Amino acid sequence: MSPSVTLVPPTAAEIPQLLSLVEDFYALEGMVFSAAVAQSYGTLLEHPDWGQLFWLRCEGAIAGYAALTFFFSFEYHGRSAILDELYLCPQCRGRGLGSAALAQVEAFCRQEGIPCLNLVVDGQNIAAQRLYAKHGFATLRRQLCIKWLI
């Protein structure tokens, strides 16, 4: 039997607890966690039209978190979403919870009328690449480019 994951939006009071997991995620991915990054989670919580944060809960316990952000694209038929972050606590990995979480995120997007879900995966994270490919995510021929403006 597949594990069950529910998406539960965090409250403002839970942001410090969420940031503890975010720090773990950033360390795992080799990214720099800063005060500006931390502040952005509270900002997103204040602006649900920009995206949605979720606890990933399994059997009532926090198994990780997901961060979904929204954007508009003609190519993707209007309002679309990026699964900006998906993190499972180490003890929750390898049990099918990633697949269950993806299914819930996709269901949320469908319910919101979002036709397209995007994500970015580190080229070195083979386990994540396999998970996403298994769930129908395709790699585009386009390259993501970025220029920091601040």
Compute mean pLDDT per 10 residues along the chain, 150 residues long, and list them.
87 95 93 94 95 94 96 90 93 90 94 89 71 73 67
Structural domain harbouring 106:
8-134
Structure tokens at 114: 């979002």
Number of domains in the chain: 1
**Is 2 a member of any domain?**
no
**Is 3 a member of any domain?**
no
Q: How far apart are CA 126 and CA 147, in angstroms?
A: 26
The dihedrals phi and psi of 146, each to the nearest 5 degrees, come to -145, 145
Is residue 98 a contact partner of residue 65, using CB atoms and an 8 Å limit?
no
**Is 71 a member of any domain?**
yes
Question: Who's near 42: CB < 8 A, 6+ residues apart?
Answer: 12, 15
> How high is the pLDDT of residue 136?
74
> How high is the pLDDT of residue 85?
93
**Is 148 a member of any domain?**
no
> How high is the pLDDT of residue 142?
66
Which residue has tokens 């699964």?
83
> How high is the pLDDT of residue 67?
96
**Is 69 a member of any domain?**
yes
**Is 149 a member of any domain?**
no
pTM, to two decimals: 0.85
* Amino acid symbol at 43: T
> How high is the pLDDT of residue 126?
75
**Is 141 a member of any domain?**
no
Could you give the strand order of the β-sheet that contains 61-73, starting from the edge strand earlier in sequence?
A: 6-8, 51-58, 61-73, 78-88, 117-119
